[in-house]
Structure 1
Amino acid sequence: MEHSTRLPLVSIVTINYNSKKETLELIKSLEGTTFENWELIVVDNASEESPLKDIKKLNPSVTVIESGQNLGFAGGNNLALRHCKGEYIFFVNNDTELDSNCLSTLVKTAQHLTEVAVISPKFQYYHSDGLLEYAGCTNINRFTARNRAIGHLEKSEKYSGLLETHYAHGGGMLVPKRIIEEVGPMEADFFLYYEEMDWCERIRRAGYKVYCQRDALIYHKESASVGKMSPLKTYYMNRNRILFMKRNYPFPKIIPFFFFYSFVSFPKNFLGYMIKGKQKHLRALYRGVFSHLNSKLTY
C-alpha cells in the first residue's frame, strides 16, 4: 500500500460527436467537483457543427482538439493522449455528469493501491430513480462473448465500497498515465464498443488490476450520440464481439464461441430483424459479421 497526500494533476478526456449539448452539460458538472487539480480535453470527432466556440465561451481553459475525421471512441481518446499533462487520465463519456466527490474518491483510491491500473466509478442512470447501470461486472462468457453488469437496474444504495472486477466501464475510467505508456492505448480498430474490455484484458495480462469504486458516483444519460437501437450500434456490436474474441481467445479457445455465434446468435438476430422488417439492421448485421472476411464491408 502506498499513501500520498499530494494532489496530482488529472487530465479529463471526453469525446464530442454531434452532441454539443451533452458536452456543455458535462463541463458545467465538472465545475462542481471537489477535486481541484484537473484539466479538460475535448476531442471533437468531426461533428457537423463545431463545439469550439461554445465550449470556449463556457470555459476558456478547456483544450479542444478537432480531429478532422471521426476516429471513433478509442481513436478519439488516443488522439487526446499526446495533449495530456496529468499523472492520471480520466476518460469519461460526454453524456455523463459527475457527482461532486466522484473524481476525488477515484484519485484517492488510485493513490492508495500500487497494483491498480483502471478504476471506474459506480454508474447510475441519469433519468431514473436511483437505478444502477454498473457497479462492476462479471467475466466474459467464452461461449457467448457476453457478460453481466453487477447491480444493473437495482437500487444504487445497495452497492458501496471497492470491488476488484473484470472490466471497467468505458464511460468513466481513471488510468495512471504510466500504465498507458507501459501497456499502450486502446485498440483503435474497435472504433466503438468492446474497446475498453479488450484494453482491460491487456492490462490484466500485464499483471495489473481493474476496480470499480462504488463510493464514487457518475450519472449516465445513455447513448445520446449513438442511439439505443441504431444500425450503427448493430454493426459494431456484432463486428467487435467477434474481434474481441479473436484477439483475446485464440484458437482453439475460440471454437465454442464460433459454434454458438454461427448457430444460435447470428440466426436469431437475422430472423428477428427480418420478421420485424428492419432492413437497415439486417444490412448492418451482415456487414458487421462478414467484415472479418472482407475488409471492404464497412458500416
Structure 2
Amino acid sequence: MTKQTLGVFLTTFERTDCLNIWIDLIKKQTIQPNKILVVDNSESDSVYHYFENKPISYLRVGFNSGPAGAASIGLKKLYEEGYDWIYWGDDDDPPTDPGTFERLLEIGNSSPSTGIVGKVGGRFISNRGRTRVYTNSELKPILVSDYVPGNKHILVSSKVIRHGIVSDPKLFFGFEELEFCLRVKDAGFLILVDGKGMMDARIKAGNLSPGYKWKGKSIGDLSRINRQYYSVRNMLYILWSRGEYLGYFYFLIKSLVKLPFSIKYGFSYFRKLSGLYGTAIFHHLTGRYGQYIATK
C-alpha cells in the first residue's frame, strides 16, 4: 500500500436519517479517503438494508457495543488493512468543512511523533478529575494537547494501533476518547490539535475575549440525564486506573456534594440523578462496565 493512505470509519446505531448527509460530506472533502467503513452497532436491520447496494464497506457488530466498542473495532479493522491514518467518525457529527481531512493530515505530518490529531483539544486536570478547553490566549496554530473530545474529528496514526492502543470497549459510552488519548500520550505520542481552526471558529462566533473558553452544560437536561451514569462511572475508572487518587476522591466528593443542588431542576430530576449516581458508583466499585442503562 502506498504511503499516506487514509481509512475512514463511521460508527452508527439505529441511524439512517443522517447517513446520506455524512456520505455526501465525505465526498466533498479535498482529500478523499482510500476507504470508508461503517461500523454498525444496530440491533435492527435498518442500517444494513440502507447500505445493502451501496459501494461502502459495511461491518455489522451484531450487538450494541457502544461508541467505545465500535471505535475499537474500526481502529483494528483499518489498521489490519494497512492504512497509515485512520479517521474516527461519528454518525451525527460529519466533517462539514471540506478541508477537514487535508488540515488534519497536514498537522499529523508536522511531527514524526504524532499519534492523534483533532480539530479541538483541551487539558485534563488530573487532580480534579475534569477537563477544560483552551482559552483564546492559549491558542496557537498547532497545539500539543492532552485529549481530543468526542465528535471533534479524531485522526489516529497507525503507529498507535501498532503499539496496541485502541479505545476500551468496556467503557461503552462516555469519556472513551479521553481515556484513549491519555494512554496514547502515556506511550510517548503527541496529540496535536488545530488551534488555528479553533480560533477561526471563535472569531466567526464573536467570542473574542482573551479568556474565553467554551463551557458545556450537562446538568439539568432530563433528556440526557442517563449520560450522567456513564460520565461518573467512567471518570472514576479513569482516575483510579491511572493512580490519580487525589483526583479520584476529589471528583467523587464533588459529585456527591453537588447532587443536592440539582433539586432546582425539580424533585423528579433530583431523585433520578441520585439513583444514577448511586448506581454508577456501585458499578465502578464492583467492576461492572459495558452497557447497563440506556444512553437516552
TM-score for both structures, normalised by structure 1: 0.78
User: 2:99 and 2:73 mapped to 1: Cα distance?
Assistant: 28
User: 2:57 and 2:247 mapped to 1: Cα distance?
Assistant: 46
User: 1:116 and 1:228 mapped to 2: Cα distance?
Assistant: 39
More displaced stretch, 284-293 vs 207-216: 207-216
In the alignment, which of 206, 210, 224 is matched to residue 191 of structure 2?
210
In the alignment, which of 253, 260, 276 is matched to residue 263 of structure 1?
253
Shift of 1:216: 5.5
Please tell me the residue identity of whatever aligns with 1:167: Y
Equivalent positions of 1:216-227 (< 5 A) are none
1:105 is aligned to 2:103: yes
Partner of 1:129: none
Q: Which runs of 5+ in 2 are unaligned?
A: 202-215
1:162 is aligned to 2:142: yes
1:43 is aligned to 2:52: no
Tell me how many residue pairs correspond in the alignment: 263
Partner of 1:190: 171
Runs of 4+ with deviation above 4 angstroms: none
User: 2:223 and 2:257 mapped to 1: Cα distance?
Assistant: 18
| Cα distance change on mapping 1:262 and 1:237 into 2, 3 Å | closer
User: 1:63 and 1:271 mapped to 2: Cα distance?
Assistant: 48
Partner of 1:65: 59
Q: Conserved in 2, the CA contact under 8 Å of 1:13 and 1:90?
A: yes
User: 1:216 and 1:296 mapped to 2: Cα distance?
Assistant: 39
1:20 is aligned to 2:16: yes
Secondary structure in structure 1 of the residue aligned to 2:25:
helix
Shift of 1:236: 0.2
Shift of 1:16: 0.6
Q: Conserved in 1, the CA contact under 8 Å of 2:240 and 2:248?
A: no
Shift of 1:162: 1.1
Please tell me the residue identity of whatever aligns with 2:123: T
Q: Conserved in 1, the CA contact under 8 Å of 2:107 and 2:192?
A: no
User: 2:165 and 2:288 mapped to 1: Cα distance?
Assistant: 27
Q: Conserved in 2, the CA contact under 8 Å of 1:15 and 1:45?
A: yes
User: 2:176 and 2:89 mapped to 1: Cα distance?
Assistant: 14
Shift of 1:61: 2.3
User: 1:108 and 1:119 mapped to 2: Cα distance?
Assistant: 10
User: 1:25 and 1:228 mapped to 2: Cα distance?
Assistant: 28
Partner of 1:290: 282
CA deviation vs aligned residue, 1:133-163 (integer Å, no higher than 9, x gap): xx421232412x1111225xx8xxx966211
Partner of 1:32: 28
More displaced stretch, 208-217 vs 273-282: 273-282
Partner of 2:114: 116
1:236 is aligned to 2:227: no
CA deviation vs aligned residue, 1:19-78 (integer Å, no higher than 9, x gap): 222233211111101102431111111244521232355xx2211111111111121111
| Cα distance change on mapping 1:284 and 1:24 into 2, 3 Å | farther
| Cα distance change on mapping 1:270 and 1:92 into 2, 3 Å | farther
Q: Conserved in 2, the CA contact under 8 Å of 1:102 and 1:216?
A: no
| Cα distance change on mapping 1:296 and 1:35 into 2, 3 Å | closer
Alignment RMSD (CA, Å): 2.9
Please tell me the residue identity of whatever aligns with 1:276: F
Partner of 2:209: none
